[in-house]
């Protein structure tokens, strides 16, 4: 039968601009959050993580913000480059195992 | 390159058949995870092994099974395959010292399974 694909939200930005990708997570008990980048034909690649005892964490050109009150996570990418074009997933982890629950993903398109 | 290897890269088979997917974790990692990525379900956790023992289970079908061997590599067995099993199957690994919680998982390149 015909399969229906997920319709991923798309964010289109100009090269050099800052990008903000948002994610709503599902479980208020989740205490560890990760952002992954997935390029076409490849596996998810770790970008940055944050524990629930923090509300902000910075990496190289990336910042993750966590708002536990509204169960919201965001990924900010500074000076977006064409190589940043990919699908971005947030994932949450809760409890004493490594089970990750992934969001649906956001496609980032960078226009030169 | 994450250091996680998966074989084969591609697999084409028929309904009703059985296949085995193989994963080698990063050197030193004790935990191995399997995920399924399909067009309509996104990335779904299947199962986690830690040092040879099953640690956590997701919505893994009874037709699917996995194991982790003493050398820490893992295999995912899919049997009585159906058209809907066509998907990308990813393996990930982590250090495992905390049972997987709060640990960065590094993903392999995946196995693309097509069931005809």
- Residue A4: predicted pLDDT: 44
What pLDDT digit, counting tens, does each position of B97-112 carry? 777 778 899 999 999 9
CA distances for A67 relative to A16, A52, A75, B107, angstroms: 27, 9, 12, 27
Torsion of CA A22, A27, A30, A36, to 10 degrees: -30
In the predicted model, what is the mean pLDDT of residues A45-73?
96
Cβ within 8 Å, pair B101-A96: yes
Whether A71 contacts A26, CB under 8 Å: yes
Question: How do beta strands A106-111 and A10-14 pair?
Answer: parallel
**A18 has a pLDDT exceeding 50:** yes
How would residue A5 be classed by pLDDT, with cut points 50, 70 and 90? low
- Residue B37: predicted pLDDT: 96
What pLDDT digit, counting tens, does each position of B59-78 carry? 899 999 999 999 999 999 99
Q: How far is B63 from chain A (nearest CA, A)?
A: 20
Which of A54, A66, A98 to mutate to test binding with chain B, by most B CBs within 10 Å of its CB?
A98
Cβ within 8 Å, pair B45-A101: yes
In the predicted model, what is the mean pLDDT of residues A35-47?
95
Q: How far is B74 from chain A (nearest CA, A)?
A: 16
Q: Which structure tokens are listed for B75? A: 């295999």
- Residue B81: predicted pLDDT: 98
Q: What are phi and psi of B70, to 5 degrees?
A: -55, -30
**A112 has a pLDDT exceeding 70:** yes
The residue among A38, A36, A42, A20 whose CA lies nearest residue A93 is A36
**A97 has a pLDDT exceeding 50:** yes
**A7 has a pLDDT exceeding 70:** no
Residue B47: beta bridge partners?
B34, B57
Question: How do beta strands A45-51 and B5-7 pair?
Answer: unpaired
């Amino acid at each position: 039968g015909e399969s229906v694909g997920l319709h991923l939200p798309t964010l289109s930005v100009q090269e050099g601009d800052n990008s903000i990708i948002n994610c709503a997570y599902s479980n208020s008990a989740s205490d560890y959050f990760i952002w992954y980048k997935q390029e076409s034909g490849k596996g998810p690649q770790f970008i940055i993580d944050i524990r629930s005892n923090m509300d902000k964490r910075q990496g190289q050109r990336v910042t993750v913000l966590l708002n536990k009150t509204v169960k919201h996570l965001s990924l900010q990418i500074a000076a977006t480059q064409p190589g940043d074009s990919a699908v971005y997933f947030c994932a949450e982890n809760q409890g004493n195992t490594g089970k990750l629950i992934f969001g649906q993903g956001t496609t980032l398109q960078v226009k030169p | 390159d994450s250091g996680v290897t998966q074989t084969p890269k591609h697999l084409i088979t028929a309904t009703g058949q059985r296949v085995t997917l193989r994963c080698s974790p990063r050197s030193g990692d004790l935990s191995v995870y399997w995920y399924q990525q399909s067009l309509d379900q996104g990335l779904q956790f299947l199962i986690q092994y830690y040092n040879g023992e099953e640690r956590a289970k997701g919505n893994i079908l009874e037709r699917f099974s996995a194991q982790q061997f003493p050398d820490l590599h893992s295999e995912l067995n899919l049997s009585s395959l159906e058209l809907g099993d066509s998907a990308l199957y990813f393996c990930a690994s982590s250090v495992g010292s905390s049972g997987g919680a709060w640990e960065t998982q590094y993903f392999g390149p995946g196995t693309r399974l097509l069931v005809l």
